[in-house]
Amino acid sequence: MKFFVDTADIAAIKELNDLGMVDGVTTNPSIIAKSGLNILEVTKEICDLVDGPVSAEVVATDAEQMIAEGRKLAKIADNIAVKVPLTWDGLKACKVLSEEGNMVNVTLCFSANQALLAAKAGATFISPFIGRLDDINIDGLELIEDIRLIYDNYGFETQILAASIRNANHMSECAKIGADVCTAPPNVIKAMANHVLTDNGLAAFLADAKKANIKIV
């Protein structure tokens, strides 16, 4: 399963990328607004830093303007994935942009039907939001399972990009289900390394090493 990092924080991306933990990056208008940076400039900087797909989202709501914005975003770098919302106009934009050879990430997916439409429209990635479904007492992981089943049934090449990842458990569960990609904030990816038994075991080892005056260098 590929790891995308969901941030525009250059330092955080670089830290994870240096460890080989970044297969791509996702951004959205909220993330860009939080960064306080110009969308074109920060997206270009991210594209120069990572080799994998970098999702940059349109802000228009009608198909014609989405297509225009998507074409402009795609010119930033060869690894741009134009991000469009899962609306009827978004699907129209996806169809045009994908047929022009652009990677397209269809976002804000909350149902299997929506995912099926995105695949039919030629999406490179479909982004189902797990955490936001969990927030309204719907199991977001079940959606990942449903999409995986449908895509496998019919051989769709659209990649499942699990989004709205809230915790490390979401990451491992998506991996077991067969999501192609998970995009998560840097703190969630780093939290995957945490386990209380690791901490306790290390503390015990270090205490014994101190008692025995074990030194290596």
- Burial code (b: 16+ CB inside 10 Å, e: under 16) for 57-85 equals bbebeebeebbebbeebbebeebbbbbbb
Give alpha helix (H) positions in the chain: 10-18, 29-35, 39-49, 63-74, 88-99, 112-120, 130-135, 140-154, 168-177, 186-191, 196-211
Of the residues 83, 176, 210, 211, only one is catalytic, namely 83
Find the radius of gyration of the CA atoms of the chain.
Answer: 20
3-state class of 25 per DSSP?
Answer: strand
DSSP element (H, E) containing 83: strand 80-85
95 catalytically annotated: no
Cα distance between residue 192 and residue 168, in whole Å: 5
Which sequence positions are flagged as catalytic?
83
